[in-house]
Structure 1
Amino acid sequence: MSNFTESNGKTLRHTRADVLAAAMKILDELGLPDLTMRRLAATLEVQPSALYWHFANKQTLLACIADEIIDRAKGIGVGLDWKAATRAEAESLRNALLAFRDGAEVVSSTLALGLGANQAQARLTKALTGGGFDAATAETAAAAILHLILGQVWHEQQRIQADSLGVVSGTAAVTPEHAALGLPSNQAFELGIALLLEGLEQLAHTRNNLGTV
């Protein structure tokens, strides 16, 4: 916990968790473009420089937000086969991203810069290893599934936002239930995951057969 002393002599006490919670509220209500350190400082009634007690820069803050979003994904149940477990993890991650405005963009940028959100791929990898795949295959497949999740949710969130602003071209309105390529977004997502998992299983089968020749 840090003491933030303003120019008027007023001292406020905010924890790192307080700053993070305020940032996530701004993100959810206004979107990523409006999540600035200046706006965050104004919300907490401190000078912008006070925020750097807890976060070195905005990207570090966004990385912590990304980790928090991923952490809120519910864990899968026990006793599932590898396909069901992977689907459950993928759906849980998708729901976590959708729970926050611009959630996919925040997590994607954090991963691209190598600053955090690593648990997303780790959870998918763990689920995939239940299928008996070697570590390299499981990690690569997890990355492919994660890219599908991030891309699909990012697209969905952009379309929903555009529709809310009235700037979507064409006559079809875009809603959370109908946001991707003319299909309900959940159907497009489920089909993509199914194709990846079935393809992975077929690849493993082919490799096993070749290994016996």
Structure 2
Amino acid sequence: MVHARSDVVSTALRVLDAHGLADLTMRRLAAELDVRPSALYHHVADKQTLLAAVADELLARGRRPATAHAWPDRVREVAVGLRDALLAWTDGAELVGTVVGFGLGGTAPLRDLEEALAGSGLPDDLVPVAARTVWHFTLGHTWEEQTHLQAGAAGAIPDEPLGTRDPGAAFTAGLELVLDGLRARADRSTDRSLTAG
């Protein structure tokens, strides 16, 4: 059977969701596609390239159209959408964090955050730093939440979210703290430019 690259990536995403990142192997993926493992290398150079493509697909499927206008609302919209996309798939946060850490992909949310922060009043050199701060908070919170939920579902730990009964509310509160800090820094930068002018 002949498969397109999109078939390989979609099947890998299903394997990830069913078995987790540790069990997303080239051998298992080949078995799911009913091909020899060597056939996969016609579509991806190696497992890292496959993981990057799977992460990008996961994020693309979870991407929502931008509707907010004010920069804090746009940042909030991207962060919430990222969290939802990561939670929708087994080990989604671990996969995307790994791929971004290796510099292989998964950067669409970072670009979206930079675009959202462009009109914030932050100095241009701080916009990428601010975007990465929101990214790290979102990824870290979601990874912890997802790991705890999956361990609870497997019976390895009590099935109660870590540190709170409502991880969504905890995420929202933490994100608001980050946004408060970004607003304060943006306001200070704006005040300095007005004073200098």
TM-score, structure 2 normalization: 0.93
The reply on whether 1:182 has 2:157 as its aligned counterpart is: no
Matching residue within 59, 63, 66 for 2:55: 66
Aligned-pair CA distance for 1:192: 1.2
Aligned-pair CA distance for 1:207: 3.4
RMSD (CA atoms): 1.5
Aligned-pair CA distance for 1:166: 1.2
Contact 1:180 1:188 (C-alpha < 8 Å) held by counterparts: no
The reply on whether 1:16 has 2:8 as its aligned counterpart is: no
Alignment of 1:73-92 (within 5 A): 73-78=63-68, 80-92=69-81
Gaps of 5+ in 2: none
* Distance across 2 between alignment mates of 1:108 and 1:118: 10
Q: Partner of 2:41: helix, strand, or coil?
A: helix
Please tell me the residue identity of whatever aligns with 1:66: A
State the match for 2:84 in structure 1. 95
Please tell me the residue identity of whatever aligns with 2:163: L
Q: Partner of 1:53: helix, strand, or coil?
A: coil
Aligned-pair CA distance for 1:188: 1.1
Q: Partner of 2:180: helix, strand, or coil?
A: helix
State the match for 2:159 in structure 1. 173
State the match for 1:7 in structure 2. none
Larger deviation, residues 27-36 vs 129-138: 129-138
The reply on whether 1:41 has 2:27 as its aligned counterpart is: no
* Distance across 2 between alignment mates of 1:192 and 1:139: 19
* Distance across 2 between alignment mates of 1:114 and 1:201: 29
* Distance across 1 between alignment mates of 2:181 and 2:155: 39
- CA deviations 1:2-30 (Å, max 9, x no partner) are xxxxxxxxxx1111011111100000111
Gaps of 5+ in 1: 1-11
Contact 1:90 1:149 (C-alpha < 8 Å) held by counterparts: yes
* Distance across 1 between alignment mates of 2:159 and 2:101: 32
Aligned-pair CA distance for 1:120: 1.2
Aligned-pair CA distance for 1:91: 0.6
Count of residue pairs the alignment pairs up = 194
Indicate the structure (1 or 2) with the bigger Cα radius of gyration: 1
* Distance across 1 between alignment mates of 2:86 and 2:6: 20
Contact 2:121 2:186 (C-alpha < 8 Å) held by counterparts: no
Aligned-pair CA distance for 1:70: 1.6
Matching residue within 136, 158, 165 for 1:147: 136
**Bigger relative contact order, structure 1 or 2 (CA pairs below 8 A, ≥6 apart):** 2
State the match for 1:200 in structure 2. 182
Contact 2:122 2:189 (C-alpha < 8 Å) held by counterparts: no
Change in 2 beyond 3 A, CA 1:132/1:207: closer
Please tell me the residue identity of whatever aligns with 1:58: K
TM-score, structure 1 normalization: 0.86
Please tell me the residue identity of whatever aligns with 1:201: R
* Distance across 2 between alignment mates of 1:162 and 1:148: 21
